[in-house]
């Protein structure tokens, strides 16, 4: 089966806002969420900027309607997924075949880190309740229970392409007639483990990141969550409100070049983008805007840029990386940036690539540096490329 899949609702929480309205307002006002570390307790507090959600654990738990002992990743997931489902306003949701396909890469690591501090001092200490929700799948199950979804609950963990792959998989479940509605996306929270790991790779910028700038020095880590509500064509026709857009194309590819680096010629990136175009039936010239993966590292930006040159040359659509707003939210970035791509269609927006000063000399195009309103945005390509060469591209189109 190959029926259309529509987006009926969206939800988000990030360093620039606790809901869709706040995220959109920050995008329009060109306000970054990256700054000095305040919530995460790290020895790098004064050296490495991060993009933290502006709520402590207690406040976030209250907003999510979950206990404080739950991992921050699950709390972020619950907030955004619940907003997405609420915005879809699907009558009789409980009677439909529904799924929750959610992604993350750190699971309950934040609670595990709290456990190990007293445990390492005395192995008779440490609260075991802090480690029972450690693994990635538990995050998904906790939120699925909160949403009342039981028919299909699946966790995707493929590094930075995770939540794009969750959306991809959710669409396939609908297209093949297995489900009527899927809440899909992902979340990740900041942890010391993640920060230290990326710092060891020497790809973190000690200043605010500058994706696709010639003098870029690395990425800034962030946290957040983004979810979309996917519905079948049959269900979309019964809803009181018109779907926001269609998920018209998607593709996953893996060049398996390196454990953490993209192939220099952007093989995986090219295969993902060209495959998504083929799935959608569109040509490169049909794309109105590209939401770049654009992490700000030397390797990622040149690999992605090289692939874009190969596919789009000589006519390039406007493009930018919104990670200059939110930081790199890892397992959550594909979902969060899918939401931003959908907003670009709904609101007619082309986002600026914040802080870009010097275009990359090895690329023949320049990324967008000014906010463009009232743009004719028909089709948006959203890129999410992860460790191990796992690359996924999604295409959203006007309904």
Cβ contact 294:353 at 8 Å: yes
Coil, helix or strand at residue 50: strand
Catalytic-labelled residue, pool 136, 160, 209, 251: 160
Catalytic-labelled residue, pool 251, 293, 333, 391: 293
Catalytic-labelled residue, pool 57, 328, 333, 391: 328
Buried b (16+ CB within 10 A) or exposed e, 84-104: bbebbebeebeebbbbbbbbb
Report the C-alpha gap between 309 and 317 in whole angstroms. 11
β-pair partners for 9: 229
Q: Can you spell out the DSSP letters for 205-246?
A: -SS---TTBTT---B-BB-EEEEEEEEEHHHHTT-SS--SEE
Cis preceding linkage at 35, omega within 30: no
Cβ contact 208:34 at 8 Å: yes
DSSP 281: T
The secondary structure element, H or E, covering residue 248 is strand 245-254
C-alpha separations of 126 from 48, 111, 325 in Å:
29, 11, 37
Let me know if 160 is a catalytic residue: yes
DSSP 359: B
For residue 53, report the phi and psi dihedrals to the nearest 5 degrees: -65, 135
Q: Choose among 28, 16, 17, 22: nearest CA to 374.
A: 28
For residue 102, the Cα-to-chain-centroid distance in whole angstroms is 11
Helix axes 136-147, 72-88, angle to 10 degrees: 40
CA angle, 221 then 222 then 225, to 5°: 145
Cβ contact 372:48 at 8 Å: no
Let me know if 293 is a catalytic residue: yes
- Which amino acids are annotated catalytic? 160, 293, 328
């Amino acid at each position: 089966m190959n029926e259309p899949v529509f987006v009926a609702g969206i939800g988000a929480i990030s360093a620039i806002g606790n809901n869709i309205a706040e995220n959109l307002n920050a995008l329009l006002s060109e306000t970054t969420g990256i700054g000095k570390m305040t919530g995460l307790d790290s020895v790098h507090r004064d050296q490495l900027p991060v993009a933290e959600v502006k709520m402590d654990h207690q406040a976030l738990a209250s907003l999510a309607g979950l206990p404080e002992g739950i991992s921050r990743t699950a709390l972020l997931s619950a907030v955004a997924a619940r907003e997405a489902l609420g915005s879809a306003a699907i009558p009789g949701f409980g009677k439909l075949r529904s799924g929750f396909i959610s992604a993350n890469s750190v699971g309950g690591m934040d609670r595990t880190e709290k456990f190990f501090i007293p445990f390492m001092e005395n192995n008779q200490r440490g609260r075991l309740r802090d480690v029972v929700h450690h693994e990635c799948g538990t995050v998904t199950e906790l939120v699925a229970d909160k949403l009342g979804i039981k028919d299909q609950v699946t966790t995707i963990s493929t590094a930075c392409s995770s939540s794009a792959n969750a959306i991809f998989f959710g669409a396939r479940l609908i297209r093949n007639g297995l489900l009527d509605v899927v809440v899909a996306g992902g979340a990740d929270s900041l942890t010391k483990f993640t920060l230290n790991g990326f710092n060891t790779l020497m790809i973190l910028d000690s200043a605010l990141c500058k994706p696709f700038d010639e003098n870029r020095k690395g990425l800034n880590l962030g946290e957040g969550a983004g979810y979309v509500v996917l519905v079948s064509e049959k269900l979309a026709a019964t809803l009181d409100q018109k779907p926001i857009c269609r998920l018209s194309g998607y593709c996953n590819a893996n060049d398996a070049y390196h454990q953490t680096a993209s192939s220099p010629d952007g093989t995986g990136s090219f295969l993902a983008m060209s495959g998504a175009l083929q799935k959608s039936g569109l040509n490169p010239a049909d794309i109105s805007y590209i939401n770049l993966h654009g992490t700000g590292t030397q390797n990622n930006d040149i690999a992605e840029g090289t692939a874009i040159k190969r596919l789009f040359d000589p006519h390039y659509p406007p493009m930018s990386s919104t990670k200059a707003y939110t930081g790199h939210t890892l397992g959550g970035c594909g979902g969060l940036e899918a939401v931003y791509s959908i907003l670009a269609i709904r609101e007619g927006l082309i986002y600026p690539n914040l802080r870009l000063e010097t275009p990359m000399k090895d690329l023949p195009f320049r990324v967008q540096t000014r906010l463009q309103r009232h743009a004719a945005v028909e089709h948006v390509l959203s890129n999410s490329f992860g460790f191990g060469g796992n690359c996924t591209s999604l295409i959203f189109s006007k309904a």
